[in-house]
Structure 1
Amino acid sequence: MISLIGPSGAGKSTLLRCIAGLEELDEGHIWIEGKDMSAEPAHRRPIVMMFQQPLLFPHMTVTENIMYGLTFTKMTKRERLEQVSLYLKKINMENFRDFYPSQLSGGQQQRVSLARALITNPKLLLLDEPLSSLDNELRAEIRLWMKQWLKEKKITTIFITHDKEEAMLIGDRVVVMGKKIIQQCGSPIQVYDYPANSFVAEFFSDGIVINNELFIHTKHIEMSTSPNERWYVKWKGLVKEAFMKYGKFFYQINIIDLQTDVIIQSDVPFSNMQYVWVGVHSKGHIQTFKKDGETC
């Protein structure tokens, strides 16, 4: 499972549409299981693409929607219905088989949409922000369920999201796109802890970027009401905002000399608009970047 993340305009959706055959390539090739699919029309590619909205057929029941993908196979109607029953059980919607999309919640519609996609056994599943229309609580529930099911089905998946935490939770690997190229790819922790350049650091990681050349991860940064003589480097900062997450206090600090902000976790209580000192113990915690545009 690959999480594809980047700002608007980075080219994420265009990339998925090219893979799916909905957009023509300017250059390059699309290979799936050793076969060049670049010249194949969309309907001949073993790919299913899901969009932000479920796009269910409103005049069809849940059963009919899920079964639609099997319409073009050689399966008998009985065999298709048996497959649908298995998938209804998987998505825990056996009691909704005769419901229409308008009678379902947003989360239920997405489950039906995913079942309709997977029942065709695609080689590759492309998900273009399929959870963006759901509220946070439902999104978290569907996200966990979806990942478990896709892992069970062992279907290669590319998942577009704007949410950094969601990208880290979903993806075995994360691909960060920016300026219409791939800036970095790797495991979620690798990309978060060791961003390849300032673009990735500012978009996906947390820390201080200095002159687009140096990076200090937030996990190496300490804060105090007075400077620590053992710090290798230190700066004066101002607490702009305090908030709690995962039962811990976090602070948005404006580093005055660097004219930049950083989020720091601290068990010591601080107040808004309070002046503090932030620093780093070791030179080894300061990372040197590749130049922007160099890929990982």
Structure 2
Amino acid sequence: MKDVFISLNSLKKAYGNETVFHSIHLDINEGEIISVVGPSGAGKSTLLRCIAGIEELDEGNIWIEGEDMSPKPAHRRPIVMMFQQPLLFPHMTVMENIMYGLTFTTLTKKERIEKATLYLKRMDMENFRDFYPSELSGGQQQRVSLARALITDPKLLLLDEPLSSFDNELRDGIRLWMKQWLKEKKITTIFVTHDKEEAMLMGDRVVVIGNQTIQQCGNPIQVYDAPSNAFVAKFFSDGIVIDNRFFIHAKHIEICNDLHGAWYMKWEGIVQEMYIKYGKFFYQITISDWQTDVIIQSDTHFSKMQCVWVGIRSKEYIQTFKKDGEAC
């Protein structure tokens, strides 16, 4: 059984009369990667800043390796945080910025340069080693910031949407490498992202935050396949939510080419958009009965604004939500 590395107990943060989050309980094992997702304004970034000690909590305690971090200032916590903004030193070159985190280690200057060069290569920034931040694009600055955070091999790494400004091809490559690196180094990581696919790829578990608290956390596939309430279903999964009480996952919904087939339930819909991914056709269909959209894969070609019927074949496909979110 893995040891709990960090424990968040009854965390609450408010600004005046406005509560950002409350009743945050979460235990994270050593070397585990936690993806945190939620709508804008849900308090994801604020939660990271509170863990890092940059902002004070109103209630609760943060324990790391059995030690209460709450009274400790940020510089005394074994934490490295990467912000949404690069926050590079403007008077330092790319190479100097990346090497800065190694200044207080026992590595020789030669070893620091060798290690920083490896990260330059990984971030595809070798040709910019002598550039200053003002000479870089926003995405390039973010790559330097990510390299500076990763090179220190921290005990706890907090990442606030670190790949948001990367182009798709570069993001895919760095994301896979970064997960392998974090696992190899056994670095406990909390990874905030707005991208559902990225959260599932990076996280050992996913934490969905909304309405000021944790709505659900668990294995990414479990959360996606079996959301515990309507909020999680609408934000993190795909399908139809009925009266905020029932859920039908998109994987069970089909386009009814044969209306007289063995359908348990069916509804009329209108094709809004068509997408092609991995050689498959996907259709965004508005179901008027429930005033919701669902994306369904089909090998049959349909036109935009065409009326279609969609349905499910079994009562077993209808999930009933729990009253409360799942405990972590």
Indicate whether the TM-score tops 0.5. Answer: yes
Of residues 240, 252, 259, the one that matches 1:227 is 259
User: TM-score, structure 2 length as denominator?
Assistant: 0.82
Asked if 2 retains the 8 angstrom alpha-carbon contact of 1:196 and 1:295, the reply is no
Instruction: State how 1:1-296 maps to structure 2 within 5 Å.
Output: 1-71=33-103, 73=104, 75=106, 79-92=108-121, 96-104=128-136, 106-291=138-323, 295=327
Secondary structure, aligned partner of 2:231: helix
Query: Take 1:245 and 1:98, find their aligned partners in 2: how far apart are those partners?
Result: 40
Asked if 1 retains the 8 angstrom alpha-carbon contact of 2:265 and 2:311, the reply is yes
User: TM-score, structure 1 length as denominator?
Assistant: 0.91
CA offset at residue 83 of structure 1? 2.7
Change in Cα spacing, 1:104 to 1:153, as seen in structure 2 (3 Å) is farther
Query: Take 1:57 and 1:210, find their aligned partners in 2: how far apart are those partners?
Result: 51
Question: Aligned residues: percent identity?
Answer: 75
CA offset at residue 112 of structure 1? 2.8
Query: Take 1:174 and 1:293, find their aligned partners in 2: how far apart are those partners?
Result: 13
Moved more, 258-267 or 78-87: 78-87
Change in Cα spacing, 1:234 to 1:291, as seen in structure 2 (3 Å) is same
Specify every segment of 5 or more residues in structure 2 that has no aligned partner in the other structure, as ranges.
1-32
Query: Take 1:288 and 1:80, find their aligned partners in 2: how far apart are those partners?
Result: 60
Query: Take 1:243 and 1:67, find their aligned partners in 2: how far apart are those partners?
Result: 44
CA offset at residue 96 of structure 1? 4.8
Asked if 1 retains the 8 angstrom alpha-carbon contact of 2:35 and 2:207, the reply is yes
**Larger proportion of strand:** 2
Cα deviation code 1:18-74 (max 9, x no counterpart): 100011111111111121111110000000111122221121123321232234x36
Asked if 2 retains the 8 angstrom alpha-carbon contact of 1:174 and 1:185, the reply is yes
Asked if 2 retains the 8 angstrom alpha-carbon contact of 1:227 and 1:278, the reply is no
Asked if 2 retains the 8 angstrom alpha-carbon contact of 1:199 and 1:292, the reply is no
Cα deviation code 1:221-268 (max 9, x no counterpart): 111244244111111212122221222111111112222221111111
Secondary structure, aligned partner of 1:29: strand
Secondary structure, aligned partner of 1:59: coil
RMSD: 2.1
Asked if 2 retains the 8 angstrom alpha-carbon contact of 1:225 and 1:275, the reply is no
Change in Cα spacing, 1:220 to 1:100, as seen in structure 2 (3 Å) is same
Asked if 1 retains the 8 angstrom alpha-carbon contact of 2:275 and 2:282, the reply is yes
CA offset at residue 148 of structure 1? 2.6
Secondary structure, aligned partner of 1:30: strand
Asked if 1 retains the 8 angstrom alpha-carbon contact of 2:102 and 2:112, the reply is no
Change in Cα spacing, 1:33 to 1:6, as seen in structure 2 (3 Å) is same
Query: Take 1:86 and 1:70, find their aligned partners in 2: how far apart are those partners?
Result: 9
Query: Take 2:70 and 2:156, find their aligned partners in 1: how far apart are those partners?
Result: 15
Aligned length: 293
Query: Take 1:63 and 1:81, find their aligned partners in 2: how far apart are those partners?
Result: 13
Asked if 2 retains the 8 angstrom alpha-carbon contact of 1:243 and 1:251, the reply is yes
Asked if 2 retains the 8 angstrom alpha-carbon contact of 1:70 and 1:80, the reply is no
